[in-house]
Amino acid sequence: MSFVKGAWKILVGIKDGLALLLLLMFFGLLFAILSARPNATTIRDGALMLKLQGTIAEQPAAPDPFGALFADGPVMREFAVRDLVHALEAAKDDAKVKAVVLDLDGFAGGGQASLATIGRALDDVRKANKPVYAYATAYANDGYQLAAHASEIWIDPMGGAIVAGPGGSNLYFGDALDKYGIKANVYRVGTYKSAVEPFTGNQASEPAKEALNALLQEIWGDWQAEVTKARPKARLQNIIDQPADAVESANGNLAQLALRDGLVDKLGSRTQFGDYIAEKVGQGLDETPGSFAQIDYDDWLDANELSDEGEAIGLITVAGTITDGEAGPGTAGGETVSKLIYNALAEDDLKALVVRVDSPGGSVLASEQIRLAIQAAKDKGLPVVVSMANLAASGGYWISTPADAIFAEPDTITGSIGIFGIIPSFEEALGKLGVNADGVKTTPLSGEPDVFAGPNETFNRVAQSTIENGYRDFLTRVAKSRNMTVQQVDAIGQGRVWAGGTARQLGLVDRLGGLDEAIAEAAKRAKLGEDDFHIRTIEEPVDPFTELLLAMSRDDDAKTVRLDLFGHAAMRQRLTMLQAAATAQELVGTTGVQARCMECDLMVPRGTQSALDRGGWAALLARWL
């Protein structure tokens, strides 16, 4: 009996101990969460700190909170373009902000149109007589595009700046598929619809190269023009035209080369940079070398919420690949986006709708689902204005067709009017294994498309005819929207991609301009003055628990990324390899007819959360739980 009593006391003790431990963990987590939340009351005079560790996106993808919280390495983040621009607009008129600091160590890039938008906001800060300081261990294309707008550019003496034009290699799987007996049965329309070429051959076709080269040259020219205008003293051509000679002339010292050619203003360590900023804006709260008075980015956003006065103009963002069904932010699920629009229209208080598009396209069915929802707004009598960001190609253009007006940036990638479908089959692979397929059919389409024996001629004809009909449907929608003939659209269609400037000349867009210009046009069409409206963002609310977990993981100085030029190259390689894997997955992962621009992936980095923020074993365990 005494043994039972003793065992019972041990069990009760364990239970009480676990309860106490869980209680302590709960209050500890609660304290950490409350401490990590943005706090507007902590803002004091100093420099607005923009630590851009990650990428810039039109609509950040839903992050993995456990991957961020338990990450073994640096936490990468996707920063929303609109948030950055709003933060800078608020900073230029607030006396608390003495300067803006761009920390570009660990910056993985963004679309050129997005970076140009942020660059204009930085220019406005400088026009308000507030300096902008940029620092990085090393600068690559995207980082330097932002840094060029700074009053002073600093670089680590161990770093450097290398400017390389856009472009690169794609993988072509033709021989590999032949080797393993896999056949990609492709159905497409469009001379330039190169999305399927990685699965049908070993290199890009000449028409595809011609179109892509023209696009890249136009975008690269715009990049050089923007940077030269922002920083006239930068002698870019030396490092662009003959990079090897330039580097050798500086004995391999890339930092000195950047200083000599005017790409940067000063060399110095992070500590020296911090001490310099402290002289301008004040000392930090601690006395750590290199600290200076800072205003936290998230706190600043929390303290400067958007106005909700006046009439409402709805803003819906369609970002990422357009997919069937539901999807989180950063991916345009047809069901999700259309439902958001219909729900907003049901409230019956919107005066106009602005559609921000940043998508390479995707599922035709999902694109049509979104287009119908946008058309419903127009049928209701609302002015509809489309604002194209970095990408509005294929399905991204399909959903833009109901607009009363289309705005694009000069560097927007648009067009790619064409569709395709891919169905893999394994008849040759099975033959190599000595396996054959046979059976009985009651009609020519019984069991088709046959994954074992390959689709028959009847199915191929049916599928190709369906694709051609879909392409005619695409042409008809564009022709009606743009007041063109089907023949005129076909001449500039065929799957060819265009930069925004050329697209305007061709009539695919109405005006060049960013989101602000599109909103102003929507307000004008709704007969609203510039002070008579506010923007209502149409989006799903963020899960509060997820938001708090993410807040706990941010701005940890111990996890700051520092990348020299080899580090930038390694990061770019990782993203390229992940993108190549995604391209290969398209062969078996694509469902339904696609209106998709694959070459767009060369120019806009995607997938930072999945590629660079997976976390370690603790994050994996948390995700399993």
* Secondary structure letter of residue 76 according to DSSP: P
Q: In sequence order, which residues have a C-beta less than 8 Å from that of residue 12 and are 6 or more positions away?
A: none
Burial 321-356 (b: 16+ CB within 10 A, else e): bbbbeebebbbbbbebbbebbeebbeeeebbbbbbb
Task: Please give the structure tokens belonging to residue 106.
Answer: 């660990």
Q: For residues 202 and 169, give the distance between their C-alpha atoms in angstroms, rounded to a whole number.
A: 12
Catalytic center residues = 193, 394
Q: Which two tokens stand for residue 363?
A: 């599922």
Strands, DSSP E only, in 360-483? 361-363, 384-393, 405-408, 413-415, 419-425
Residue 102 in tokens: 């761009």
Residue 205, both tokens = 């076709």
CA distances from 257 to 189, 234, 243, 402 (A): 49, 11, 11, 51
In three-state form (DSSP H/G/I as H, E/B as E, the rest C), the secondary structure along 482-504 is HCCCHHHHHHHCCCCEEEHHHHH
Residues for the chain: how many in total?
A: 625
At residue 367's C-alpha, the angle toward residues 366 and 373, to 5°, is 90
First to last CA, the chain: 40
CA 352 remoteness from chain centre: 26
* Nearest by Cα to 427 from 608, 223, 180, 151: 180
Distance separating alpha carbons of residues 239 and 272, to the nearest angstrom: 27
- DSSP H/E element including 213: helix 206-230
Please enumerate in sequence order all residues whose Cβ is within 8 A of that of 109, keeping only pairs 6 or more positions apart, or say none: 55, 56, 140, 141, 142, 143, 605
H/E run at residue 535:
strand 533-538
With contact defined as beta carbons under 8 Å apart, do 355 and 385 qualify? yes
Residues 387 and 521 sit within 8 Å (Cβ to Cβ): no
Residues 418, 349: Cα–Cα separation, whole Å? 37
The answer to whether the bond into 444 is cis (omega within 30° of 0) is no
